Structure 1
Amino acid sequence: MNSISSKRIKNHPFKMSPIVAGVILSLGVIVSGCQDPKAVTAKSVTAAESTTNTEQVVAVNYAALAQEIAKKYIITDGHIDVPYRLEDEFENVADHTEHGDFDFPRAVAGGLDAPFMSIYIPARLEKTGGSKALADKLITLVEDIVKAAPDKFALAHSTSDVKNNFAKGIISLPMGMENGSPIEGDLANLKHFYDRGIRYITLTHSKANHISDSSYDEARPAGGLTDFGKTLVAEMNNIGVMVDVSHISDDAFYDVMAVTKVPVIASHSSARHFTPGFERNMSDDMIKLLAKNGGVIQINFGSSFISQKAIEYGKLRKKAIKAFVTANNLEKNSVEIQVFKDEYKVNNPYPYSTLDEVIAHFDHVIKLVGIDYVGIGSDYDGVGDSLPTNLKDVASYPNLIEGFLKRGYSEQDIAKILSGNVMRVWQAAEVYAAQH
């Protein structure tokens, strides 16, 4: 077990009660084929009752082990949209918050240790200007969170920082930039944002920019990466900023793979195998090439990334809203439209994905390329009210771990998913940059 400071134990209370200890001991006896001495006198118990009791023992044991694993290992999450959420409506995330998916108490409950704070930049700023200014403002916001609660949060500019903060029982707040628009065509800005703590850049977002085409944008002016984008990827390698291929078009992904000298990440993407035609997720061929390069795909929890059913629901809802607006000649953002949206959801309940469906994406990647190339990229605070059952906020990571345990994943495999794989890629970026 990793060494855990007394402070971390205080922040992450886990006491092995006699009942839980007994349950774990009982499970060990059952698995080994031996009888529990205390159970020998229970000859009058029926076979059905015995089976039921055994199932209950197994269920309780998985939950207990999941909690222990969540506290034993570093848990990273590649993409949490806290900064932009707080820019829109500020709350003190050092305490319990009324809104959102992330705050300190819930992070502690879930065992979360290194959530990458997403410095999200809306695509519209590529044309209107202001990308760099907003990025700097959001980075300062993250720094202010740390300054206001240094006993709870710390910045993390390296893998060593994450490990050191973990040993102290403090949650790391590494940062990644979602949308490379703030680079504004100037490589000096790459150095500027590296110095401010940015450790990955998602090259674009929902629209093509001066770096890359977007998977969401029908316009593909560059046919992949722009010439500047190719230069930027090489310089990101040299300086130690991970390249994030989430959001970019398929052609841009293959351009990245042709240029990069180090492993890359998909900070919050899922498997296209389950959502055919949804380019925002990664195809099997892309996942194979990502793995061949040593990279990691971090699974997005949003239901529309997980199931085709949720995607189809979204299409039908959008069509219904458009028809309602047209029929009633309404202005954008009118009260009537919001009322219609609310009523639509009541009459047509959203098909939330399940925990099992999320784990199926992990399973698919692992069966395809192995355990070393997958991680967590929940997109908490970024996908609105579309999160799966049992994965509603950052307190939910033990539920995910329990699901892995029930599917037969070893503790060592789970540790790789929780942080080992991403830390390996991040460290590879650090080593390459040190040499160049």
Structure 2
Amino acid sequence: MRKTLPLITIFLLNLAFISFSSTTIPQKQKTTIKTTTDDEALKKKAEALAHRFVIVDGHVDLPYRLHGKMEDVSVQTVGGDFDYVRAKKGGLTAPFMSIYVPADLQKRKGFSKALADSLIDLVENLTKTYPDKFALAKSPADILQNFKKGLISLPMGMENGSPVESNLENLKHFYDRGVRYITLCHGEDNFICDTSYDTTRTWGGLSPIGRQVVREMNRLGIMLDCSHISDDTFEQVVALSKAPVIASHSSCRSFTPGFIRNAPDVLIQKMAKKGGVIMINFSSMFLDSASNKAYELKRNAIKAFQKSKNLPADAPEVQAFEKEYVAKYPTPLTTVERVADHIDHVVKIAGIDHVGLGSDFDGVGPTLPDGLKDCSEIPNLIYILLKRGYSEKAIEKICYKNLFRVWNQVDKVAERK
């Protein structure tokens, strides 16, 4: 999602001379495709697997996109990265609808919760308006049932815990409405915890109320999402939670040193030891250091403009400035192979059971890599995994089984309380 972030010194680089960093694919994943025939066969197999397997995407920002400008997503849309036609083409079965609440709203009592409820209403209305295409899903069983009917499931995760508004009863409210994970914060520290983007470090991790939120989410059966939170918060959540946790749309920091929004190896490993899953973000700025550096420059320029004009992040003038900046200084893009590199890395350091997909479609559009420009191109990633020697069983785990395992375990922990 579009971030509201701290201001740092702005400077411009000549992006043309930035080279993409590389990573070593685990030796056991390498394979050689000798002929064009073999290559075409793998592409056809990737297409088949994309439609044979359930595919869960941990984070799609469609609700906030439609909140800004309503579109008919039952047909192929001109803008955005997700719609029914492209999802069916790419085999995307269950995109988690992000109930995104900007950090700015947490300063105004009642506004965060009101926006969250309105976005949930929007998702529900999609399933009512197009019942032959979309269906709500509150469990893995719901997704499997919808899949058999040919429907695209719309499970929901809330991005930013600010709508809870220090009232634990609101957690039950959102659970009843279908929210099945909560990203504890977003671009600023909130009453729950510290964020990766804010250097204030208000709580040194979780706040006292934040610890209660973790316990209550365990009790209710809501997955804890460690994307966006600070390293201290991440470590404390993993230690405190009685159930496995997820990172719904994060990538590996080893590829983007200094980008705290991505997860470091040590925390990926700690999360994995408790059964958790990191779901790889598709944005080039999350995947590659050159793209990330260019994005940082853009982000800081936008923040400086916003501050100089004393405007909120979503002001039309700020959006116009961003559009002009992107046109003048486009972010260098990586490729679909880089997504596979991150998957390889998680497999190497934590194991095949602890990685999934969390595209951030409709939240990072201009930075999506070549070969993964929208949800119709998911088979391209499966093709790369096949080419690198991943088995069908391993790909099935990445596509949905790993996340389903966590989700079911979270439900079991809740049943015991």
TM-score range, shorter chain: 0.7 to 0.9
Does residue 89 (structure 1) correspond to residue 69 (structure 2)? The answer is: yes
TM superposition shift of 1:128:
1.6
Does residue 269 (structure 1) correspond to residue 250 (structure 2)? The answer is: yes
Q: 2:398 aligns with which of 407, 417, 432?
A: 417
Query: 1:113-143, CA deviations, whole angstroms, 9 ceiling, x for partnerless residues?
Result: 1100000000011102311111111001000
TM superposition shift of 1:431:
1.3
User: Unaligned regions of 5+ residues in structure 2, if any?
Assistant: 1-30
User: Matches of 2:320 and 2:144 in 1, distance apart?
Assistant: 46
Give the letter aligned to residue 349 of structure 2: L
Does residue 116 (structure 1) correspond to residue 107 (structure 2)? The answer is: no
Which residue is 1:23 aligned to?
none
Do 2:195 and 2:230's aligned partners in 1 also have CA atoms closer than 8 Å? yes
TM-score normalized by the length of structure 1: 0.84
Which residue is 2:58 aligned to?
78
Structure showing greater radius of gyration is 1
Change (3 A) 1:318 1:205: closer
TM superposition shift of 1:337:
9.3
Does residue 361 (structure 1) correspond to residue 354 (structure 2)? The answer is: no
Do 1:325 and 1:337's aligned partners in 2 also have CA atoms closer than 8 Å? no
TM superposition shift of 1:296:
0.1
Give the letter aligned to residue 366 of structure 1: V
TM superposition shift of 1:364:
0.4
Change (3 A) 1:151 1:292: same
Q: Percent identity?
A: 52
Which residue is 1:255 aligned to?
236
User: Matches of 2:318 and 2:339 in 1, distance apart?
Assistant: 35
Q: 2:279 aligns with which of 285, 298, 305?
A: 298
Give the letter aligned to residue 68 of structure 2: D
Query: 1:366-418, CA deviations, whole angstroms, 9 ceiling, x for partnerless residues?
Result: 00011000000000001131100010111011011001001110000000000
* Number of residue-to-residue matches in the alignment: 383
Q: What secondary structure, in the 3-state scheme, does the structure 1 residue paired with 2:260 have? A: coil
Query: 1:200-240, CA deviations, whole angstroms, 9 ceiling, x for partnerless residues?
Result: 00000000000011000111111100011111111111110
Change (3 A) 1:135 1:336: closer
Give the letter aligned to residue 118 of structure 1: S
Which residue is 1:401 aligned to?
382
TM-score normalized by the length of structure 2: 0.87
Higher relative contact order (CA 8 A, sep 6+): 2
Change (3 A) 1:84 1:66: same
Q: 2:410 aligns with which of 387, 404, 429?
A: 429
Do 1:302 and 1:388's aligned partners in 2 also have CA atoms closer than 8 Å? yes
User: Matches of 1:430 and 1:319 in 2, distance apart?
Assistant: 41
Do 1:321 and 1:341's aligned partners in 2 also have CA atoms closer than 8 Å? no
Do 1:74 and 1:112's aligned partners in 2 also have CA atoms closer than 8 Å? yes
TM superposition shift of 1:315:
3.2
User: Matches of 1:260 and 1:322 in 2, distance apart?
Assistant: 35
Q: 1:202 aligns with which of 183, 197, 214?
A: 183
User: Matches of 2:267 and 2:304 in 1, distance apart?
Assistant: 37
Give the letter aligned to residue 370 of structure 1: G
Does residue 242 (structure 1) correspond to residue 229 (structure 2)? The answer is: no
User: Matches of 1:402 and 1:427 in 2, distance apart?
Assistant: 29
Q: What secondary structure, in the 3-state scheme, does the structure 2 residue paired with 1:98 have? A: coil
Which residue is 1:178 aligned to?
159
